[in-house]
Amino acid sequence: MFHTIFYEPLYNLVVVMLQIVPMHDIGLAIILVTIVVKGILYPLNMSALKNQHVMKSLEKELNDIKEKHKDSPQESSKKMMEIYKRENINPFASLLTIIIQMPILIGLYFVIAKGLSADPTSLYSFVKFPETLHVEAFGILDVTKKSLIIAILTGISSYVLARRQTSTMDTKKAPHEETFQDHFMKSMKIQLLYVLPLIIAVSAYVLPAALGLYWITGNIIGIFQDFHTKKKIAEMKLNIKTK
């Protein structure tokens, strides 16, 4: 099932992109593959980003509900779900985005790990494998091997993306006013901002450089998506205030 749902589509997508890009450059092909994948996941990613920002604006209301119904968890959950429904929020959107992207990364790993060789059993009938293929991205980087430079760039781009996405997790409360949830959010921000990019950088170093290139491209797209989402939300807030 994994082979049919993830490996074969990714393998054929890579081959198609290799046919399109100049010199059958694998680096450009991977960048285009990332753009296509991110484009497909765009609605889900945008939904997750919007949820993060809307959840931040609803923080006080949600905390009031938790405090009011602290002796009745079921009632508290019911009221919170009503708010999610009212604001058209899916609290599991971010988790779903992560879950979907994991098998895509694994599938791309197997595509690269096999050396990007012709695989007639996985190639769709309408897709033709290029007669010549170079595994050096941009003529200088062998994407089938690990690369320290790619790993460092992956870590940096992951940090920049995490920095933007966690900016809404800041609390303006004084230390003595902070609740358990505030402390939890601070701890989570540290994990997302420093630990996760480090783990991703190490992973990018031990894996083929193609995965790091995919990560970097995805992070750059994610940064622009986050910027676009914040701009849209700011415009929505401005429109509400002017009405």
3-class SS letters over the chain: CHHHHHHHHHHHHHHHHHHHCHHHEHHHHHHHHHHHHHHHHHHHHHHHHHHHHHHHHCHHHHHHHHHHCCCCHHHHHHHHHHHHHHCCCCCCHHHHHHHHHHHHHHHHHHHHHCCCCCCCCCCCCCCCCCCCCECEECCCEECCCCCHHHHHHHHHHHHHHHHHHCHHHCCCCCHHHCCHHHHHHHHHHHHHHHHHHHHHHHHHHHCCHHHHHHHHHHHHHHHHHHHHHHHHHHHHHHHHHHC
Spatial separation of the C-alpha atoms in residues 122 and 8, rounded to whole Å? 6
Spatial separation of the C-alpha atoms in residues 236 and 238, rounded to whole Å? 5
CA 157 to each of CA 2, 126, 161, 204: distance values in angstroms, whole numbers, following the listed order? 29, 36, 6, 12
26 in Cβ contact with 134 (< 8 Å): yes
Residues facing residue 136 across a β-bridge: 142
At residue 210, the pLDDT reads 93
At residue 17, the pLDDT reads 93
At residue 175, the pLDDT reads 56
At residue 226, the pLDDT reads 84
Residues of the chain under the 70 pLDDT cut: 91-94, 168-186, 236-243
Residues facing residue 137 across a β-bridge: 141
Domain boundaries, the chain: 2-242
CA 67 to each of CA 72, 81, 173, 183: distance values in angstroms, whole numbers, following the listed order? 10, 16, 17, 17
Q: In the structure encoding, which two tokens stand for residue 232, read together?
A: 């849209």
Spatial separation of the C-alpha atoms in residues 237 and 219, rounded to whole Å? 27
Token pair 């593959």 is found at: 33
